[in-house]
């Protein structure tokens, strides 16, 4: 099997509908990476207030950078056959590089800045550089060359930031990441190489495979809520406050799962194949909000268990209620764009309710705040279910 796969040209290979075991192995690194990011968010809540915004900005930057690597990796495996030996080498190299990035996260704005920047650039340039070589004579090579051009430009800024340190590092890295996100949103246009999406360059993307990768990563992120709450409870032992918050975290986890997999836009009929929701071309950015919201929620419940005594900090309220708001907004963006059927308002109403309910929460004990967030989120899940009355799970698909 591998021999036949290896004999074909890369451009002629096709991605399977199901994710491979190697891709699941790749996601194990992101279990560690998400835990590191959650740790940074928790640290951001305990620092001096005048540095909160700068520290939180660094965490968002790291999260977006790690997400950019994962999303492009998922796109690669959904375009070409990840069972090929050469692509497996690329995936394993990216996996090791991501591990180095995760290890470097705590000191990325300190002594490990150069290591973080160089590793990130090697991943982001190495992948399209290999594809440019492997796709010689194939129409899809022009698209990859455009990606390589954009990442080369941003790579200069990443390295410059790693060398400069201090405020300059944050500026260089922020501009570099902005370049990558703008390039991805605009299909990496280059004047001499045109501006076509990959699917218009003679290359077929397996939307089923890509959607499955998104669903799997969502489940990995969802586990972070259980890990954070469970670890926080297990250290000091059982207590009334800890048990209440643990139950609230479990309710929030189930609500996230229910809304993500069962939500269907208003007026959208299911297809004969049970296809359900189609993800738009902004699906990657939508899942970025979803995962970010889940991480914030996980950290919020963990912080309540560690310190359940009032008064509650306003920043913790923002984390606990802002996380579900980000999740609901991200999930709503996954609905199929269709002018004849407007987007479902259930999730938008839920986000508004959470935002309004967060205002008086600074007057309540931390445990009550966590319980209130879970109850409201569960109510949104029930309301969403009653609004659509879907009887079966509908995994979001492209």
Alpha-carbon span 314 to 300, nearest angstrom: 12
Whether 123 and 211 map to the same domain: the answer is: no
Last residue of a domain, one of 134, 168, 200: 200
Of these ranges, 32-36, 114-118, 305-309, 336-340, the one predicted with the greatest mean pLDDT is: 114-118
Closest to 187 (Cα-Cα) out of 42, 284, 98: 284
Q: DSSP for 73-93?
A: HHHHHHHS-TTSHHHHHHHHH
Spell out a b/e string for 66-103, using b for 16 or more CB atoms within 10 Å of the CB, else e: bbbbbbbbbbbbbbbbbbbeebbebbeebbebbbbbbb
Q: Is residue 373 part of a domain?
A: yes
Q: What is the predicted pLDDT for the residue at 48?
A: 55
Task: Give tens-digit pLDDT for 127-152.
Answer: 999 999 988 888 778 888 999 999 99
Whether 133 and 238 map to the same domain: the answer is: no
3-state SS class at 391? coil
Whether 46 and 184 map to the same domain: the answer is: yes
Query: Within a 10 A sphere around the Cβ of 209, how many other Cβ atoms?
Result: 22
Q: What is the predicted pLDDT for the residue at 297?
A: 94
3-state SS class at 338? coil
Whether 105 and 151 map to the same domain: the answer is: yes
Whether 244 and 193 map to the same domain: the answer is: no
**Are the C-beta atoms of 361 and 316 separated by less than 8 Å?**
no
Alpha-carbon span 154 to 290, nearest angstrom: 26
Band (390; pLDDT cuts 50, 70, 90)? low
Last residue of a domain, one of 200, 229, 245: 200
Q: What is the predicted pLDDT for the residue at 50?
A: 52
Alpha-carbon span 264 to 257, nearest angstrom: 13
Task: Give tens-digit pLDDT for 188-247.
Answer: 888 876 666 555 556 677 888 888 888 899 999 999 898 888 888 887 667 888 899 999
Band (340; pLDDT cuts 50, 70, 90)? very low
Closest to 244 (Cα-Cα) out of 118, 371, 375, 129: 371
Identify the residue whose tokens are 């699941």: 24
Alpha-carbon span 261 to 394, nearest angstrom: 6
Whether 154 and 222 map to the same domain: the answer is: no
Whether 156 and 219 map to the same domain: the answer is: no
Whether 37 and 178 map to the same domain: the answer is: yes
The distance of Cα 35 from the centroid of its chain, to the nearest Å, equals 13
Omega before 311 within 30 of 0, i.e. cis: yes
Whether 169 and 251 map to the same domain: the answer is: no
The neighbouring-strand residues paired with 397 are 278
Band (318; pLDDT cuts 50, 70, 90)? very high
Last residue of a domain, one of 200, 221, 241: 200
CA–CA–CA angle 178, 179, 180 (5° rounding) = 90
Q: What is the predicted pLDDT for the residue at 285?
A: 85
Whether 90 and 154 map to the same domain: the answer is: yes
Task: Give tens-digit pLDDT for 13-40.
Answer: 787 888 889 999 999 999 999 988 988 8
Q: What is the predicted pLDDT for the residue at 358?
A: 94
Task: Give tens-digit pLDDT for 106-116.
Answer: 888 888 999 99
Q: Is residue 398 part of a domain?
A: no
**Are the C-beta atoms of 159 and 121 separated by less than 8 Å?**
yes
Whether 182 and 220 map to the same domain: the answer is: no
Q: Is residue 394 part of a domain?
A: no
Whether 228 and 186 map to the same domain: the answer is: no
Q: What is the predicted pLDDT for the residue at 375?
A: 96
pLDDT at position 292 over 90: yes
Q: Is residue 369 part of a domain?
A: yes
Q: Is residue 310 part of a domain?
A: yes
Q: What is the predicted pLDDT for the residue at 336?
A: 56
Of the given ranges (163-167, 245-249, 338-342), which has the lowest mean pLDDT? 338-342
Using CA atoms, how far residue 208 sits from 117, 269, 278, in Å, is 33, 19, 10
Q: What is the predicted pLDDT for the residue at 232?
A: 81
Q: What is the predicted pLDDT for the residue at 152?
A: 95
Domains identified in the chain, total number: 2
Instruction: Tell me which residue range forms the domain holding 368.
Output: 207-388
Task: Give tens-digit pLDDT for 41-52.
Answer: 888 777 655 555
Between 327 and 12, residue with greater pLDDT: 327
**Are the C-beta atoms of 305 and 233 separated by less than 8 Å?**
yes
Q: Is residue 395 part of a domain?
A: no
Computed over every residue of the chain, the mean pLDDT equals 83
Q: Is residue 396 part of a domain?
A: no
Q: Is residue 16 part of a domain?
A: yes
Query: Within a 10 A sphere around the Cβ of 246, how many other Cβ atoms?
Result: 22
Q: What is the predicted pLDDT for the residue at 47?
A: 67
């Amino acid at each position: 099997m591998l021999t036949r796969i290896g004999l074909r040209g890369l451009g002629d290979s096709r991605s399977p509908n199901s994710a491979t075991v190697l891709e699941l192995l790749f996601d194990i690194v992101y279990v560690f990476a998400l835990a590191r990011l959650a740790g940074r968010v928790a640290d951001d809540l305990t620092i001096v207030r005048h540095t909160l915004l700068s520290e939180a900005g660094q965490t968002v930057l790291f999260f977006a950078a790690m997400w950019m690597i994962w999303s492009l990796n998922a796109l690669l495996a959904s375009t070409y056959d990840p069972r090929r030996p050469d692509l497996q080498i690329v995936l394993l190299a990216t996996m090791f590089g991501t591990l180095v990035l995760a290890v470097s996260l705590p000191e990325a704005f300190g002594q490990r800045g150069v290591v973080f920047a160089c590793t990130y650039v090697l991943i982001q340039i190495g992948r399209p550089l290999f594809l440019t070589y492997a796709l010689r004579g194939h129409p899809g090579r022009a698209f990859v060359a455009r990606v390589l051009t954009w990442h080369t430009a941003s790579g200069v800024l990443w390295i410059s930031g790693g060398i400069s340190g201090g405020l300059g590092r944050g500026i260089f890295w922020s501009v570099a990441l902005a370049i990558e996100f703008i390039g991805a949103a605009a299909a990496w246009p280059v004047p001499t190489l045109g501006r076509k999406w990959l699917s218009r360059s003679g290359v077929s993307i397996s939307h089923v495979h890509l959607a499955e990768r998104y669903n799997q990563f969502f489940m990995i992120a969802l586990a972070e809520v259980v890990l954070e709450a469970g670890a926080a409870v297990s250290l000091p032992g059982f207590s009334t406050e800890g048990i209440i918050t643990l139950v609230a975290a479990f309710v929030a986890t189930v609500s996230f799962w229910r809304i993500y997999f069962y939500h269907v836009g208003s007026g959208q009929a299911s297809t004969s194949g049970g296809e359900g929701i189609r993800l738009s071309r902004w699906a990657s950015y939508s899942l970025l909000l979803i995962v970010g919201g889940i991480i914030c929620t996980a950290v919020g419940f963990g912080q309540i268990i560690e310190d359940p005594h009032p008064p509650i900090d306003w920043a913790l309220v923002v984390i606990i209620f802002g996380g579900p708001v980000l999740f609901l907004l991200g999930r709503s963006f996954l609905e199929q764009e269709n002018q004849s059927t407007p987007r479902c308002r259930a999730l938008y109403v839920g986000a508004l309710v959470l935002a309004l309910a967060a205002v008086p929460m600074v007057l309540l004990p931390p445990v009550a705040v966590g319980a209130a967030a879970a109850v409201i989120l569960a109510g949104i899940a029930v309301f969403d279910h009653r609004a659509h009355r879907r009887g079966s799970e509908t995994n979001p698909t492209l």
